[in-house]
Amino acid sequence: MRRYLLHFVCASLFLSLSISCSEEQNFDQFDDLEVTPLLASSILYIESTEDFINTSSVSGAFYSQTVNFDAFNEQFVSERLLEGIIIYEVENTTSKSINFTVEFLDEADNVLDVETFSIDPAPSGVLTREVAYGPAGKSLDILTATSTLRVTGSNLSDTTSTSSEPEPKFIFKSGAEFLFQLK
């Protein structure tokens, strides 16, 4: 008798668990899902010592380079970009007045946008600039069409003075945050 009771309890338990845990699944939830990831990235880091800046040519350019920037060359990525912010930080502990320029160029080397920084000699502190692209700022087309960045740093002072700061340097950093719509 005990055996039949045990079988009955186990069968009842199994039946009640299978009925109570089943629910119709709704796979249409994906249609309601909105995914907008925020991606952060470093773009440029440039550091020059005062000695290096003092060796610059007569034109005063101590740094000049064109950097590949194909972050949005895939149509899938460029079509889903909602907005972006590029953050620049500039620090100058040298005795030099410096002009620093970042140019955004398309594939045909046409200038799409320019950011120029005029930095006083030390103590100038850290200059931070945020440039928005999208609904709250400049056109997103600038970012999506950019193929290269042309970066130029010019010494606007003499080539002999030296700073009293320990290890005088010019430091330029840039990073970005981009918001995408994945669906």
The fold for domain 44-180 equals Jelly Rolls (2.60.120)
Contact of 33 with 139, CB cutoff 8 Å: no
**Domain edges within the chain:** 44-180
Residues with Cβ < 8 Å from 111, sequence gap 6 or more? 103, 104, 105
127: its two tokens: 């200059």
Give the Cα separation of 123 and 136 in Å (integer). Answer: 33
pLDDT above 90 (res 174): yes
Q: pLDDT, tens digit, for every residue of 130-148? A: 999 999 899 999 988 899 9
If pLDDT is split at 50, 70 and 90, which confidence band does 160 have?
confident
The answer to whether the pTM exceeds 0.85 is: no
State the burial class of residue 46 (Cβ atoms within 10 Å of its Cβ: 0-12, 13-18, 19+). middle
